[in-house]
Amino acid sequence: MNKKIFAISIIVLLVDQISKILISSFLKLNDMVIIINNFFKIYNINNYGAAFSIFNYKLEFLVIASIIALVLIYRYMYSFKKNLKNNIAFGFIIGGLLGNLIDRIFLGYVRDFISIKIFNYNYPVFNFADTFIVIGIILLIIAVIKGEDKINENKGK
């Protein structure tokens, strides 16, 4: 694995795990702290599913799906051009997937704590791993749109 992607993944993993430990240390389960009224609160919950509570209590499936996703990402990241944006994208996705996978394997659930309300819609509670994964996917979509998803095999010919 590219050293830059590896370093970014480790940083993301550490940010995710440390934030989860801090939240769990300062807030009891299901407790909440309002940061910005009607917009942002910290809410310590355990998520036994995936996004939007899909696959609730399907731990084995979610662990296997995460491992498959990691293998596929590892396989396809070498077909992308080596640039900072792609390194960040893959580092964010790998680190985020590992953060939630560690929770699932060692705890049986994922620790979520960020709660945001926008335009009267309460988004499902999430964590930093989820945020990094989404940002990484957006960066990869941009890379595909810009044609940075394929290494030019004809270069130098």
**Catalytic (active-site) positions:** 112, 130
The closest alpha carbon to 123, from 108, 138, 112, 137, belongs to 112
C-beta of residue 112 within 8 angstroms of C-beta of residue 125 = yes
Rounded CA separation 52/120 (Å):
17
Classify residue 19 as exposed, middle or buried by CB count within 10 Å of its CB (0-12, 13-18, 19+): middle
